[in-house]
Amino acid sequence: MRARRSVRPVQALAGLLLAAALALTGCSAGADSSDSGGSNEAAKSQADSAAGPAAGDSGAEKADAPPKITASRIIRTASLTVQVKDVPKALDEARTTTENAGGYVGNETTTRDEKGRERTRVVLRVPVDSYADVLADLEGTGKLLDRTAKAQDVTDQVVDVESRITSQRASVARIRELMDQATKLSDVVTLEGELSTRQADLESLLARQASLKDRTSLATITLSLSETPVKKAAAEDDDPGVMDALTGGWDAFVTMLRWIVMAVAAVLPFAAGAALLVVLWLRLIQPRLGRRSEPAPATTALGPLPTARPAPGPDRD
């Protein structure tokens, strides 16, 4: 009996301890779960708050960032006509100005007119950055007669050519990959023909790109130089004197004499011909006409009639 009574209190005590332990475990688990949930929510809210400003800043930077602008590609050309005193000297100065600016001299043509005045036409290529300065220097070499300047924007053409070159290179690369994988001879032949065509198109695009780059990086200036007519300078400090009058009179006399000699020389052939005709008339033609005009003497069957004698005058017997 005592043994059974002693066992029951022990079991009851063990049950109470187990229930208390379970209650404590449940409370701690609940607290841990609430704490972990709260901490997770706090972490999530912190991440959201941290990500929110960052995302907002990146969006604002994208909105505030200026759009990407392609540099303008412009072809600049100019034509100048300048009148100078000495064409070779002005041409040397133009060469020096062009070479100092980093450019070079292209085609050159030199001619002379009927009065011996020299004319030169030369093509100059100068960097675009120095285009305005070189143009101003060339205009100041003499008297500017004509000026023409043009600017052509080819930015769209440059962008289009670059895009087509990229696509064409990718196309050539794909054809080469297919050729490496081809096993039939007919496929290889077909791919080789296609590769040749696409490479030719690529080379044409590259040549066009090089031409656009050259024309946009170097401006073209066509310079025409003409020589100023030489004019005699008039004396401004001295008034005409006796010697000037004598000199002027002598020059006038010599000029008049020259014109008289030229006139006589021009008329002399005609005068000689006229004199010859007069001599022929007097020597040959006129005597014959005189003989034909004399009357023949009257005649009869018995002979010529006697000519009448003049009657004697009063002083004659």
Distance CA 13, CA 7 (A): 10
Angle CA 69–215–196, to nearest 5? 90
d(CA 192, CA 175): 8
Lookup: tokens for 50: 């941290």
Residues, the chain: 317
**Vertex 144: Cα angle to 140 and 146 (nearest 5):** 135
Give residue 300's pLDDT.
52
- Kindly report the backbone phi and psi dihedral angles of residue 307, in degrees, each rounded to the nearest multiple of 5, phi listed first: -80, 145
Parallel/antiparallel/unpaired status of strands 143-153 and 299-300: unpaired
The pLDDT assigned to 307 comes to 54
pLDDT by residue, tens only, the chain of 317 residues: 344 444 444 444 444 444 444 444 344 444 444 444 443 444 334 334 433 443 344 444 444 444 444 577 899 999 999 999 989 999 999 999 999 999 999 898 988 887 778 899 999 999 999 999 999 999 888 899 999 999 999 999 999 999 999 999 999 999 999 988 888 888 889 989 999 999 999 999 999 999 999 999 999 999 999 987 645 433 444 455 666 677 777 788 888 888 888 888 888 888 888 888 888 877 777 676 666 655 555 555 555 555 555 555 555 44
Q: Residue 103 and residue 130: Cα distance in Å, rounded? A: 9
Q: Which residues pair with 221 in a beta bridge?
A: 78, 124
Amino acid 299: pLDDT: 54
Write the DSSP assignment of 66-122 as a string of letters.
Answer: PPP-PPP-EEEEEEEEEEES-HHHHHHHHHHHHHHTT-EEEEEEEEE-TT--EEEEE
Amino acid identity at 133: D
State which H helix or E strand residue 273 sits in: helix 242-280
Q: Taking CA 136 as the corner, what is the angle to CA 130 and CA 142, rounded to the nearest 5 degrees?
A: 140
Distance of CA 305 to the CA centre of its chain: 113
Calculated CA dihedral for residues 199, 205, 207, 211, nearest 10 degrees = 180
- Of 139, 27, 161, the closest CA to residue 82 belongs to 139
Q: How far is CA 249 from the centre of its chain?
A: 56
